[in-house]
Amino acid sequence: MNIIENTWDHLDRMIRLRDPLPTSLDQLWVALLDEWGKLDQAYIDKLYASLPKRVQALKKAKGCATRY
C-alpha cells in the first residue's frame, strides 16, 4: 500500500539499467542520489493520486493483501 515501495522499485530498475553498473556502495549511493533527483514529479503525483484507490482496496480486502 505504501507508495515508497513503488518508488524504490522504480529506482532499482533505473539503477539496473545503468552502464556501467555501480560496483561499490559509494558508487551505488551516488547512482541512487542521481536517479532520485531525476524522479519526475508527474510520477510522484500519479502515485499520490492512487492512495484513495489503495485505501479502498485495502478496506475491501479487510486488511489482507491487495494488488498494490
Distance, C-alpha 65 to centroid of its chain: 18
pLDDT (0 to 100) of residue 45 = 97
DSSP string, the chain: --HHHHHHHHHHHHHHT-SSPP-SHHHHHHHHHHHHHH--HHHHHHHHHTHHHHHHHHHHTTTS----
Radius of gyration of the chain (CA): 15
From first to last of its 68 residues, the chain has per-residue pLDDT tens of: 789 999 999 999 999 999 999 999 999 999 999 999 999 999 999 999 999 998 898 888 887 777 76
Distance, C-alpha 7 to centroid of its chain: 1
> pTM score > 0.75 for this model?
yes
pLDDT (0 to 100) of residue 68 = 62
pLDDT (0 to 100) of residue 39 = 97
pLDDT (0 to 100) of residue 10 = 97
